Amino acid sequence: MSPELFVDILRDALGMVILLVSAIILPSLFVGLIVSVFQAATSINEQTINFLPRLIVTLLALSWGGHWLVGKLMDFTFHMVDMIPQVVG
């Protein structure tokens, strides 16, 4: 296996991880930011208020985008299986 092929595989794998994780984390990040701004504006210092909206948004992102996430992961897996002859030979 050439170093260039290994670097391409690693780059593709890291890109896939970043894509899949960001699809779940970014909506939660935005909701957490909105709730934090609301807490700062109203001087509410309760730390647990931020947890429930973020949990709900994360679960909604998983349920709405789950089909897309699994499809992307399956495409990547099939691509890696197709590359086995290049890696071995």
Q: Tens digits of per-residue pLDDT, 4-24? A: 888 999 999 999 999 999 999
- On whether the CB atoms of residues 58 and 28 are closer than 8 A, the answer is yes
Q: How confident is the model at residue 44 (pLDDT cuts 50, 70, 90)?
A: confident
> What pLDDT was estimated at residue 41?
92
Task: Put residue 43 in one of left, alpha, beta given phi > 0 → left and psi -120 to 50 → alpha.
Answer: left
Q: How far apart are CA 82 and CA 78, in angstroms?
A: 6
Is the pLDDT at 47 greater than 90? The verdict is no
Q: How far apart are CA 3 and CA 77, in angstroms?
A: 21
Q: How many CA atoms lie within 13 A of 39 on its CB side?
A: 15
